[in-house]
Amino acid sequence: MNALTGGNYTTADGRKIGNTMMEMKNITLRFGGVVAIKDISFDINEGEIRAIIGPNGAGKSSMLNVISGFYNPQEGEVWFHGKKRPQMRPYQVARQGIARTFQNIALFEGMSVLDNVMTGRLTHMKSGMLSQMIWKGKAEKEETENREVVEKIIDFLEIQAIRKTPVGRLPYGLKKRVELARALAAEPKLLLLDEPMAGMNVEEKEDMSRFILDVNDEFGTTIALIEHDMGVVMDLSDRVVVMDYGKKIGDGTPDEVRNNQEVIDAYLGVAHD
């Protein structure tokens, strides 16, 4: 076992990594006869950037969907903040402070960027329906507070110029950024990113990497991400889980994973004789 997996340390660049936030214990997920995830355990520490990598079809996205409640595993337990999580619907998971983005962007195409990001605040709105309709007292104060958070995030991700643009008209790279903004608007404890850089050019990838690092650094958000681009993953993450054919074949710091023979075989292929 790696000495660092216990958590509670300071990284080389001075970020504080806390205790275990989320723990996946012996997760198995099946679709009919197909086993998508086979008995996988790993943990995510507070404040870290945790990557899940693996070849196509390894079960990475399924894993993210288990964490965010879109799939319920047949076996295994999910522990969050030291408590076993009962079976939950995705919206309940979101209300617990876990936000996510999707591999094939899922935005509200008909709404403006601002409205999209505002939907991220829904879990923070408490005032009643009627008082919101007549725009009084608490509701007004709440709306202003939410707007402030949202504007801060919009500034942070440098999308001020497109605030009022309907999302459907934006190019792919910007859509990805808006989706990140919406997830951040929820001020999540844990942020799940499903291939945040898929289909981007080098420049866009660099921007996105910078945003991910800044989010983690400035807001202290714990991040779990799936990514194909090995270079990016190794630069960004504190620890990496490697999956192949639904099984975990490696877990550790980027350096450890890079030198793991099984991982090398899975990525480069190995001669079967």
Partner 1 sequence: MPEQFLFAMEVILNGLMAGVLYALVALGFVLIFKASGIFNYAQGVMALFAALTLVGIMDGQIPFSHIINATFGTELHHFGWHVPALLAIILTAGVMVIFAWLVQRYIFRHLVNQEPIILFMATIGLAYFLEGVGDLMWGSDIKKLDVGLPQGINEWIDVTTFEAFGYGFFIDNLDISATIVAVFLVAALIIFSQYTKQGRALRAVADDHQAALSVGISLNFIWVLVWSIAGFVALVAGIMWGAKSGVQFSLSLIALKALPVLMLGGFTSIPGAIVGGLIIGVGEKLFEFLIGPMVGGATENWFAYVLALLFLVFRPQGLFGEKIIERV
Contacts of 65 (CB under 8 A, 6+ apart): 71
Is position 80 an interface residue for partner 1 (rule: CB under 8 A)? Answer: no
Among 6, 16, 57, 91, binds partner 1 (CB under 8 A): 91
Q: Based on the number of CB atoms within 10 Å of its own CB, is 24 exposed (0-12), middle (13-18) or buried (19 or more)?
A: buried
Is position 115 an interface residue for partner 1 (rule: CB under 8 A)? Answer: yes
In whole angstroms, give the CA distance from residue 118 to residue 83: 30
Among 2, 11, 72, 89, binds partner 1 (CB under 8 A): 89
C-beta of residue 192 within 8 angstroms of C-beta of residue 90: no
Q: Which is nearer to partner 1, 64 or 249 (CB)?
A: 64
Q: Which is nearer to partner 1, 20 or 131 (CB)?
A: 131
Q: Which is nearer to partner 1, 108 or 219 (CB)?
A: 108
In whole angstroms, give the CA distance from residue 159 to residue 24: 35
Nearest distance from C-beta of residue 65 to partner 1, angstroms: 10
Among 20, 28, 112, 123, binds partner 1 (CB under 8 A): 123
Among 1, 3, 12, 129, binds partner 1 (CB under 8 A): 129
Among candidate residues 182, 203, 215, the one with its CA nearest the CA of residue 47: 215
In whole angstroms, give the CA distance from residue 8 to residue 42: 16
- Residue 57 has which token pair? 């079809």
Identity of residue 226: I
Is position 108 an interface residue for partner 1 (rule: CB under 8 A)? Answer: yes
Instruction: Reduce the DSSP state of residue 170 to 3 states and report it.
Output: coil
Single out the segment in contact with partner 1 by CB under 8 A; choices: 19-27, 49-57, 108-116, 260-268. Answer: 108-116
The site for partner 1 (CB under 8 A) is made up of 68, 70, 89-91, 94-95, 99-102, 106-111, 115, 118-120, 122-123, 125, 127, 129, 132-133, 135, 182-183, 186
